[in-house]
């Protein structure tokens, strides 16, 4: 019987660790921009006030890009088959946002991939806002090479102050350029506090110890 009790302890500790990992899930909807599926052409344009699968276009115009119809465009997308570009042939610097459900006081890890459209005519610039405050101001030089778009993964640790926090990506290129900044693989994950994980583990061990004591008394 004792091996079963020790197995129970190990199982509960593993459960606590797994629960801690679960806290790190992505709270962004459609962060990889794979929805809706772009069909029939290389991109689909969305303009101010339009929405698509969790995102809202705040200003200007944007283009949901796909590499499904031309293998030479494969590197123009960081992950999967689609990415968002904060500019389009409709003109105007584009921006998109999503209002996330957050816990006040909790820290989050924000990560995303950023690059310039290979055919941009100038250095493109982009701001990343969290809860109305700018987290980062980024720039990227066009590669003019479809085989190497120069994707860079950016990571930041941020803190929520409200129950709903707006995450926004804004094209700040001085001159509107149809080959503007591109974004893909957006993730926002809660950062579990070390003390919380420790409490989960101690709670599991404590419960297992209680079960062992009961087993001994029952004998």
Q: Would you give per-residue pLDDT tens digits along the chain (219 residues)? A: 444 444 444 333 333 333 333 456 999 999 999 999 999 888 999 999 999 999 999 999 999 999 888 766 667 899 999 999 999 999 999 999 999 999 999 999 999 999 998 888 889 999 999 999 999 999 999 877 777 788 999 999 999 999 999 999 999 999 878 889 999 999 999 999 875 444 444 444 444 444 445 445 555
Q: What is the pLDDT of residue 196?
A: 47
Per-residue pLDDT at 19? 39
Give the pLDDT confidence score for residue 133 in this predicted structure. Answer: 98
- Give φ, ψ of 57 to 5 degrees: -85, 120
Report pLDDT for 24. 64
Cα–Cα distance, 184 to 151 (Å, whole number): 9
Residues in contact with 198: Cβ distance below 8 Å, sequence separation at least 6, in sequence order: none
**pTM (predicted TM-score):** 0.79
What pLDDT is recorded for position 13?
36
One DSSP character per residue, 170-188 reads EE--SS--SS-EEEEEEEE
pLDDT number for residue 175: 83
User: What secondary structure letter does DSSP report for 93?
Assistant: -
Pairwise CA distance, residues 168 & 45, whole Å: 18
SS (H, E, C) 47-70: ECCCEECCEEEEECEEEEEECCCC
Q: What is the distance between the alpha carbons of residues 186 and 200, in angstroms, rounded to a whole number?
A: 29
Looking at the structure, give the CATH architecture of the domain made up of residues 24-191.
Answer: Sandwich (2.60)
Phi, psi of 208 (to 5 degrees): -65, -40
């Amino acid at each position: 019987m004792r091996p079963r009790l020790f197995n129970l302890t190990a199982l509960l500790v593993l459960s606590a660790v797994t629960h801690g990992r679960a806290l790190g899930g992505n709270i962004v909807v459609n962060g990889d921009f794979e929805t809706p599926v772009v069909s029939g052409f290389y991109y689909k344009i969305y303009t101010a006030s339009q929405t698509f699968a969790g995102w809202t276009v705040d200003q200007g115009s944007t283009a949901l890009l796909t590499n499904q119809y031309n293998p030479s465009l494969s590197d123009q997308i960081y992950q999967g088959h689609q990415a968002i570009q904060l500019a389009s042939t409709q003109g105007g610097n584009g921006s998109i946002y999503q209002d996330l459900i957050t816990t006040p006081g909790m820290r989050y890890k924000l990560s995303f991939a950023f690059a310039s459209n290979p055919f941009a005519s100038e250095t493109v610039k982009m701001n990343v806002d969290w809860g109305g405050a700018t987290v980062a101001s980024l720039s990227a030089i066009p590669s003019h090479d479809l085989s190497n778009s120069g994707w860079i993964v950016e990571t930041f640790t941020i803190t929520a102050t409200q129950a709903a926090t707006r995450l926004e990506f804004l094209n700040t290129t001085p001159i509107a350029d149809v080959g503007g900044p591109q974004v893909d693989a957006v993730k926002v994950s809660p950062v579990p506090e070390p003390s919380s994980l420790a409490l989960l583990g101690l709670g599991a061990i404590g419960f297992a110890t209680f079960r062992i004591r009961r087993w001994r008394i029952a004998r």
